Amino acid sequence: MILIVLSILAMPVRAQVTVEATIDSLSILLGEQTRVHLEVTCEAEQDVIMPIFQDSLPSTVADVGPFSQIRDSLSCDIEIIGKVKTDTTFLNGGKRKTISQDYQITSFNPGFYQIAGFEVLVDSVSYFTPDIALKVIIYEEVLPKNNFIDDEYKYSFFGIKDIRKAPVLLSEIKPTLYALGVIALLVLLFLYLLKHYRTNSPILQRVTLEPVLPAHIKAQKALDEIREEKGWAQENSKKYYTELTDALRLYIQNRFGVNATEMTTEEVLTHLSKITDEKQLEEIRDLLTTADFAKFAKFHPLQNEKLLHYDVVTQYVDSTKEEQDESEEPKIEYIVVKKGLSPTAKAIMLGSIIVVAIAAVALLCWIVYFVINLFI
């Protein structure tokens, strides 16, 4: 008896070794992935050999549920997608260690699986982890009615599905966005050119510098044109009095700062009464009144009366003109010279409008074609 006890005490004591296997999810959808964690804890000096798998884990499938009816074997149906590099952590001041190994797994066959325990060798001694259960399911909408699988459903289990379009990415619709921006610019250019074409105005206006003429010089030029045409001798009294009164009103406006071109006859006379003597005021009153009759009542004054009114305006301008110092430099102002489109320029602008319109329509057709191919 004593010998037996001594022999037991003389036997080497096996160090404590723990082997564990856990899984992140006990239930996954068909094709979904999960991870299995394998951990071995032992003494630091012990040799550990982890299990090696090719591309699947050993397992069995339970004969439960409707899927057992379409299962034709108990083969390994759990695939290893990837394996994380083995990690070693030392414990208790380096006396013990924990070795971790992770496996990324999935399955494309529905059912209840029992993953066999992992075999780990520690100093040539085998240690096994408990089995792990895994349930692989599919969406309920693809199950047959009453969970019963007949022969027809068995051979057309997944059926024929329509081809699904991939989601549209921003990089795919960027050309369309750029094209829409170009179309917007073409439309604005089309409207801009069409406006100038319809108003017969060039895109670029010529700007010139001209000296500012005194009011009496401008009025004298207008009176000289009337005299050259001998308007008082023409039968068109309306045209003659319109030109004559316009010259007078423009002179009053430039000389005295009164907006005479936009005033009625009475308003003009009211302002002139403050700056003109009574004789000149009566002469201008007679002129403006006769002009109103000629322009609006088709009145035709005699030729000598027309000539008299011409002299009234000439004398009024000469008597009220502003005297200027000849040594004073003339003022310069900017004048925009507006001219209509020449036949050649008009033809070029019309051609440009047509080209821009065709380009916009062609680009719009391309966008429609692109969208149809992208979304349909």
Q: Is residue 2 part of a domain?
A: no
Q: Is residue 160 part of a domain?
A: no
- Co-location of 224 and 193 in the same domain: no
Asked whether residue 331 is domain-assigned, the answer is no
Calculate mean pLDDT across residues 110-139. 86
* pLDDT at residue 68, rounded to an integer: 34
Q: Which of 132-136, 156-160, 332-336 has the highest mean pLDDT?
A: 132-136
pLDDT in tens, 175-188: 888 989 999 999 99
Q: What value does the mean pLDDT take over residues 246-255?
A: 86
Assess whether 136 and 190 both reside in one domain: no
Residue pair 70/59 in contact by the 8 Å Cβ criterion: no
pLDDT tops 50 at residue 65: no
Q: Looking at the structure, tell me whether residues 140 and 27 fall in a common domain.
A: yes
| Same domain, yes or no: 182 and 237 | no
Domain annotation covers residue 328 = no
State whether 274 and 345 are in the same domain: no
Whether residue 6 lies inside any domain: the answer is no
Q: Return the CATH number at 137.
A: 2.60.40.10
Residue 132 and residue 72 share a domain = yes
Question: Domain check: are 312 and 349 in the same one?
Answer: no
Residue 5 inside a domain? The answer is no
If asked whether residues 200 and 342 sit together in one domain, one would say yes
pLDDT at 186: 93
Residue 322 confidence (pLDDT) above 50 = yes
The verdict on 20 and 112 lying in the same domain is yes
The whole-chain average pLDDT of the chain stands at 78
Are 85 and 176 contained in the same domain? no
Tokens of 258: 């009164």
C-alpha distance across the termini of the chain, in Å: 91
User: Which domain range does residue 97 map to?
Assistant: 15-154
Long-range contacts of 285-293 (CB under 8 A, 24+ apart): 286/312, 287/244, 287/245, 287/248, 287/312, 287/313, 288/245, 289/265, 290/241, 291/241, 291/242, 291/244, 291/245, 292/265
199 found inside a domain: yes
What pLDDT is recorded for position 77?
76
Arithmetic mean of pLDDT, 169-177: 82
Q: Does 257 have pLDDT greater than 70?
A: yes
So what's the pLDDT on residue 54? 66
Between CA 175 and CA 357 the distance in angstroms is: 20
Place of tokens 């009816």: 69
Q: Are 250 and 220 in contact (CB under 8 A)?
A: no
Average pLDDT estimate for 327-340: 59
Judge if 44 and 141 occupy the same domain. Answer: yes
| Residue 173, pLDDT above cutoff 60 | yes
Residue type, 287: L
d(CA 295, CA 196): 34
User: 64 versus 219: which is more confidently predicted?
Assistant: 219
Q: Are residues 260 and 362 in the same domain?
A: no
> What total of structural domains would you count in the chain?
3
Q: So what's the pLDDT on residue 75?
A: 41
pLDDT of residue 361: 93
Looking up tokens 């009144």 gives 289
